[in-house]
Amino acid sequence: MKNNRFTDHFSHNSRNFSVSNDLIKFKERVNYNWEYFVFSYYDLLRVDYLTELLMVKLKLNTTYSLLFKLCFGGSIFYMSGIQIGLITKDYHNMYHYNNIKRILESRIEDIISEYHTNGYPDVIILMYKEVVPSPELVLKKITKVDINKNIFKFWDVKDTFISKYLPLTANMSYFGNLLVGSLKDKYLNKLKRTISYSGGKIPDYLKRGNYQHLKLFLKKIKGTGTKKTPLNFYLIISRCVEDAYIHTVLDKNSGTVMYEVKDIKEDNYLFRYVNNKKIKIQITEDKLISISKDMFLTH
C-alpha cells in the first residue's frame, strides 16, 4: 500500500549523518530565543536547498538574525563568522537568500583554510531568531458578543470567532510561511497525490496549469517535532476569483479540506463568508462590525 502521508521536505530525522553527544549537548544549551535547524554539508550542495529551507522557516514582514555553526569530525565546532541580518517583507527575496548561501560557502572555505580541518563540515546548524517580529494581530478572536441564538448555534460560529484555521484578517502574511517557485510545486504535487491515494477528487484549481494563480502557505498548528508532540501543519491555498479571495485550509497529511471562506475587501472592511455555514462577518482590524446568516423562508 502506498503511503498517503506527506514526508516533510525538511525533517531533522531525514538526514543521513550521525549526531554526536556534543551536538546533542549543543541543542540542549541553545538559548530559548534562538530556533535552530540541523542539516548536512551535502544538503547545502543541493540546488535550492538552503533557499527553500529559509522559505519554510522564516515568516514574512519580520527582521531576523541568522548564525551558522559548523561541526567537523562529529565534535569540533566553529562559528561561521558574525550574525547575518535579514529583513523579510511581504514576499521571499530569492536574491537575498542565494546571497546568504554564497556567504556561508565562502565562510566555510575560510574556516577550512584557517584551521586546516580534515575536509568539509559534517553538520551545519542554522540558528535564527526574530529581532523585529511582524506586528501582532489586534483581533485574534472574537469574544463576548451577543448573538441571536434562534439564528446562530454555538458550533456555527465557534470556529469563525476563534479563527482556529484562518486569522481574522485579509493580510495574508499572517497565514503562515509563503511557499513559492519549485517548493510550491513540490507541496502542491504531494497534496494531489495524497488526495488521489485516499480516493478523493482533485479540484480544478489544483490542475497544473492553475499553479501560477495560487498562493500557498504552510501553517504550523501544533507540536515541537519530538516523538511525544509531532509537528502538524495545515496548507492554506488562496486564489482570486473575480473580486474576492477564496481561502481553502487543508490538512497537510490527509489532504482533507478543514475550512473554506470567501473574503471581500471593501475600503477598511473585510467581509468574510464562511461557505459551509452560510455565515458572513464584517470586521475591521480591531473589532467585529456585524454577523449575519443566509436563511431561506418556506411558505
Kindly state the cell numbers that stand for 280: 458572513
Residue 58, in any domain of the structure? yes
pLDDT at res. 98: 95
Q: Which residues are registered as beta bridge partners of 136?
A: none
CA 24 to chain centre: 26
**Residue 195 structural domain:** 154-293
Residue 170, in any domain of the structure? yes
Beta-carbon contacts of residue 282 (< 8 Å; ≥ 6 apart) = 269, 270, 271, 288, 289, 290, 291
pLDDT in tens, 44-75: 999 999 999 999 999 999 999 999 999 998 88
Residues 176 and 60 in one domain: no
The residue from 98, 132, 166 where one domain ends is 132
Residues 37 and 99 in one domain: yes
Residue 265, in any domain of the structure? yes
- Give the torsion through C-alpha atoms of 23, 27, 28, 34, to 10 deg: 150
* Residue 174 and residue 134 in contact, taking contact as beta carbons nearer than 8 Å: yes
Region of 74 please: left (phi>0), alpha (psi -120 to 50) or beta: left
Q: Can you list the alpha helix ranges (DSSP code H) found in the chain?
A: 21-29, 41-45, 49-57, 94-115, 154-162, 181-197
Number of structural domains (the chain) is 2
Residues 104 and 168 in one domain: no
In the chain, what is the greatest distance between 2 CA atoms, to the nearest angstrom? 88
Residue 5, in any domain of the structure? no
Q: How far apart are CA 43 and CA 9, in angstroms?
A: 12
Residues 21 and 112 in one domain: yes
Residues 112 and 200 in one domain: no
Residues 177 and 121 in one domain: no
In this structure, the number of other CB atoms found within 10 A of the CB of residue 218 comes to: 21
Per-residue confidence of the chain (299 residues) as pLDDT tens digits?
Answer: 333 333 455 554 444 444 445 544 544 445 557 898 999 999 999 999 999 999 999 999 999 999 999 999 888 999 999 999 999 988 899 999 999 999 999 999 999 999 999 899 999 999 999 998 777 765 555 555 555 565 556 556 655 555 678 887 888 988 999 999 999 999 999 999 999 998 999 999 999 899 999 999 999 876 655 666 667 789 999 999 988 999 999 999 899 998 898 888 887 788 888 766 556 777 776 666 666 666 555 55
Long-range pairs, 96-103, Cβ under 8 A, ≥24 = 97/50, 97/51, 97/54, 97/55, 98/51, 100/50, 100/54, 100/66, 101/44, 101/50, 101/51
Residues 113 and 235 in one domain: no
Q: How far apart are CA 247 and CA 241, in angstroms?
A: 10
The residue from 73, 98, 132 where one domain ends is 132
Residue 139, in any domain of the structure? no
Residue 2, in any domain of the structure? no
By C-alpha distance, which of 135, 160, 137 is closest to 147?
160
Residues 210 and 271 in one domain: yes
* Residue 71 and residue 122 in contact, taking contact as beta carbons nearer than 8 Å: yes
Residues 109 and 207 in one domain: no
Residue 1, in any domain of the structure? no
Residues 85 and 182 in one domain: no
By C-alpha distance, which of 54, 155, 134 is closest to 100?
54
Residues 161 and 81 in one domain: no
Residues 164 and 102 in one domain: no
| Cα torsion 269, 132, 34, 124: sign | positive
